[in-house]
Amino acid sequence: MKPISRTLVTGGTGFLGRRLVERLIAQGRSITIFGRTPAPDLVQRGVNFIQGSLEDPAAIQAACKGVGTVFHTAARVGVWGPYREFYRVNVLGTRALIEGCRIHGVSRLIHTSSPSVVYNGLPLAAADESLPLTTHCPSPYPLTKAIGEREVLAANSDDLRTIALRPHLIWGVGDPHLIPRLLARARSGRLRIVGGGDNRVDMVHVENAVDAHLAAEAALDANPIAASGRAYFITNNEPVVLWPWINALLGALDIPRVERHISLPLARAVGLGCEIAWRILPLRGEPPMTRFIADELARDHWFSMAAAKRDLGYFPRISMESGTRELIASLTGK
In the predicted structure, residue 320 carries a pLDDT above the cut 90: yes
pLDDT-derived band at 333 (thresholds 50, 70, 90) equals confident
Give the total number of structural domains in the chain. Answer: 1
Domain annotation covers residue 287: no
pLDDT digit string, tens, across residues 288-305: 999 999 999 999 999 999
Domain annotation covers residue 1: no
Instruction: Give the residue-averaged pLDDT of 112-124.
Output: 97
Q: What is the CATH number of the domain that holds 19?
A: 3.40.50.720
Domain annotation covers residue 276: no
Q: Do 39 and 230 meet the contact criterion of CB atoms below 8 Å apart? A: no
pLDDT-derived band at 282 (thresholds 50, 70, 90) equals confident
How far is it, in rounded angstroms, from Cα 6 to Cα 325? 36
Q: Distances from the Cα of 265 to the Cαs of 118, 177, 274, 290, in angstroms?
A: 21, 26, 14, 12
Q: Is 141 a catalytic residue?
A: yes
pLDDT-derived band at 334 (thresholds 50, 70, 90) equals confident
In the predicted structure, residue 75 carries a pLDDT above the cut 90: yes
pLDDT of residue 1: 45
Domain annotation covers residue 187: no
pLDDT of residue 220: 97
What rounded mean pLDDT belongs to the chain? Answer: 96
Q: Do 306 and 234 meet the contact criterion of CB atoms below 8 Å apart? A: no
pTM: 0.96
pLDDT of residue 4: 53
Domain annotation covers residue 162: yes
pLDDT digit string, tens, across residues 211-263: 999 999 999 999 999 999 999 999 999 999 999 999 999 999 999 999 999 99
Number of Cβ within a 10 Å radius of residue 325: 12
Q: What domain range is 305 assigned to?
A: 6-171+203-235+301-316
pLDDT digit string, tens, across residues 166-224: 999 999 999 998 999 999 999 999 999 999 999 999 999 999 999 999 999 999 999 99
Nearest to 1 by CA among 232, 309, 218, 314: 218
| Sign (positive or negative) of CA dihedral 17, 11, 169, 4 | negative
Domain annotation covers residue 196: no
pLDDT of residue 5: 75
Cα-atom radius of gyration of the chain, to the nearest Å? 20
In the predicted structure, residue 3 carries a pLDDT above the cut 70: no
pLDDT of residue 2: 47
Nearest to 216 by CA among 73, 82, 93: 73
Domain annotation covers residue 101: yes
Selected catalytic residue, list 83, 119, 141, 232: 141
In the predicted structure, residue 112 carries a pLDDT above the cut 50: yes
